[in-house]
């Protein structure tokens, strides 16, 4: 069915006869495959007598050949559908596959965000990418890692022409107050010695449906720029910029990127609440320190916070 979908991804009408001729199957078999695509991936397909079939909206499917040009030395695998790319990288590392490598998917049935949230993953619309890396030298190599990854994604989005895009500590990329991308880091092994880190990157690329159920304001590259984005070219840019930012961080630590990160932090100087379970701390965001921890002015005293379960929210009076 993927081959059929590739023929239809341009969003134009294609006759059943022409599709069948290319695939070497009957028109009735084409129709059955189209029905299955609608059922499996919620892809609306329009049928018009005398013209044939077309997708309700064009797609930009991932091209493994384009991805091969990105970051020599990293293995890149494209899968059609999977529970989550992070989970797949974790399984591959557990099975003995040696990092560094990347897994990208057209669709996730169980995409995950921070703090157990679902990451909505419609077929062929967004970027679902996870990278497995081997980390040696202890926890210091992990300092500010989620911020480094976010900065890499931000650089790419800016280079693609998005305006108003910025960072939110610790894992989000926003346009105004609307989320366009997020980062999810997971560890395997001993963070004090040798471990593997899984970097999950989700970017809203060509998603446009107002019916998509997401529990926070969101936007996409298509909604912001008005044009369909080539997901393969975007993936290449993300992997290359990620490799560059990781090299910069490895050489001098997060502190070498701190000033750039703070300059792009949308909530710098804003009144915010830091939430950890039932605990809430109100203050003013001052920035981050050399390890990527959040600095806040809390009742006139600078305090530093870090941890994977912390959530930063703007105050109503900000």
Q: Does the pLDDT value for residue 112 go beyond 70?
A: no
Q: Judge whether 51 counts as a catalytic residue.
A: no
**What mean pLDDT is predicted for residues 19-25?**
91
Closest CA to 133 of 145, 121, 124: 145
Any binding-site annotation on 51?
A: no
* CA atoms of 314 and 270, how far apart (whole Å): 7
Whether 227 and 293 share a structural domain? no
Any binding-site annotation on 291?
A: no
**pLDDT tens column, 212-255:** 666 678 999 999 999 999 999 999 999 999 999 999 998 888 99
Residue with tokens 């965001």: 285
Q: What angle do CA 157, 3, 89 make, to 5 degrees?
A: 50
Domain hosting residue 307, numbered range: 267-314
Kindly indicate the confidence band of residue 318, based on its pLDDT and cuts at 50, 70 and 90.
very low
Whether 276 and 163 share a structural domain? no
**pLDDT tens column, 295-310:** 999 999 999 998 767 8
Whether 15 and 78 share a structural domain? no
**pLDDT tens column, 161-200:** 999 999 999 999 999 889 999 999 999 887 777 889 999 9
Whether 101 and 227 share a structural domain? yes
Whether 230 and 151 share a structural domain? yes
Closest CA to 103 of 124, 131, 122: 131
Of 92, 155, 179, 231, catalytic: 179
Instruction: Enter the pTM of the model.
Output: 0.92
| Cβ-contact 20, 26 below 8 angstroms | yes
Any binding-site annotation on 112?
A: yes
Whether 141 and 255 share a structural domain? yes
Whether 128 and 208 share a structural domain? yes
Residue after which a domain boundary falls, among 38, 55, 72: 55
Residues paired with residue 201 on neighbouring β-strands, in sequence order: 129, 183
Kindly indicate the confidence band of residue 120, based on its pLDDT and cuts at 50, 70 and 90.
confident
- Indicate the number of domains in the chain: 3
| Cβ-contact 114, 87 below 8 angstroms | no
Whether 237 and 285 share a structural domain? no
Any binding-site annotation on 27?
A: no
Q: Judge whether 313 counts as a catalytic residue.
A: yes
Whether 222 and 111 share a structural domain? yes
Return the HEC string of the chain. Answer: CHHHHHHHCCCCCECHHHHHHHHCCCHHHHHHHHHHHHHHHCCCEEEECCCEEEECCCCCCCCHHHHCCCCCCCEEEEEEEECCHHHHHHHHHHCCCCCCEEEEEEEECCCECHHHCECCCCCCCCEEEEEEEEEECCHHHHCCHHHHHHHHHHHHHHHCCCCCEEEECCCEEEECCEEEEEEEEEEEECCCCEEEEEEEEEECCCCCCCCCCCCCCECCHHHHHCCCCCHHHHHHHHHHHHHHHHHHHHHHCHHHCHHHHHHCECCCCCEEEEEECCEEEEEEEEEECCCCCEEEEECCEEEEECCCCCEEEECCCC
**What mean pLDDT is predicted for residues 67-77?**
92
The confidence score (pLDDT) of residue 213 equals: 63
Q: What is the dihedral angle through the alpha carbons of 258, 260, 262, 265, rounded to the nearest 10 degrees?
A: -140
Any binding-site annotation on 121?
A: no
Whether 118 and 243 share a structural domain? yes
Question: What is the pLDDT of the chain when averaged over all its residues?
Answer: 90
Whether 130 and 198 share a structural domain? yes
Of 51, 91, 140, 313, catalytic: 313
Report the CATH number that the domain containing residue 303 is assigned in CATH: 2.30.30.100
Kindly indicate the confidence band of residue 97, based on its pLDDT and cuts at 50, 70 and 90.
very high
Q: Judge whether 114 counts as a catalytic residue.
A: yes
* CA atoms of 35 and 42, how far apart (whole Å): 10
**What mean pLDDT is predicted for residues 100-107?**
96
Report the CATH number that the domain containing residue 45 is assigned in CATH: 1.10.10.10
Report the CATH number that the domain containing residue 249 is assigned in CATH: 3.30.930.10
**What mean pLDDT is predicted for residues 140-166?**
93
Of 114, 155, 168, 231, catalytic: 114
Whether 25 and 125 share a structural domain? no
């Amino acid at each position: 069915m993927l081959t059929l979908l590739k023929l239809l991804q341009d969003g134009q009408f294609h006759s059943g006869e022409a599709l069948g001729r290319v695939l070497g199957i009957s028109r009735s078999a084409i129709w059955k495959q189209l029905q299955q695509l609608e059922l499996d991936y919620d892809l609306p397909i329009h049928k018009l007598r005398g013209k044939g079939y077309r997708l309700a909206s064009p797609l930009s499917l991932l091209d493994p050949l384009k991805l091969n040009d990105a970051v020599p030395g990293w293995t890149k695998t494209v899968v059609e559908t999977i529970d989550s790319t992070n989970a797949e990288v974790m399984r591959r590392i557990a099975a003995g596959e040696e990092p560094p490598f990347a897994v990208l998917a057209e669709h996730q049935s169980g995409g995950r965000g921070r703090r157990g949230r679902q990451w909505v993953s419609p077929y062929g619309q967004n970027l679902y990418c996870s990278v497995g890396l081997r980390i040696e030298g202890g926890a210091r190599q992990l300092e500010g890692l989620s911020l480094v990854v976010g900065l890499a994604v931000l650089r790419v989005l800016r280079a693609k022409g998005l305006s108003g895009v910025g960072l939110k500590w610790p894992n989000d990329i926003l346009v105004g107050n609307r989320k366009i991308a997020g980062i999810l880091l997971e560890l395997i092994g001993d963070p004090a010695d040798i471990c593997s880190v899984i970097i999950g990157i989700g970017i809203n690329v060509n998603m446009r449906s107002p019916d998509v159920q997401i529990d926070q304001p969101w936007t996409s590259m298509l909604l912001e720029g008005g044009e369909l984005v080539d997901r393969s070219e975007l993936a290449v840019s993300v992997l290359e910029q990620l490799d560059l930012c990781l090299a910069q961080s490895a050489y001098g630590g997060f502190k070498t990127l701190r000033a750039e990160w703070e300059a792009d932090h949308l909530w710098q100087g804003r009144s915010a609440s830091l939430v950890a379970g039932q605990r809430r701390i109100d203050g003013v965001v001052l920035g981050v320190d050399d390890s990527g921890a959040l600095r806040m002015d809390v009742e006139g005293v600078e305090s530093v916070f870090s941890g994977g379960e912390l959530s930063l929210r703007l105050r109503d009076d900000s």
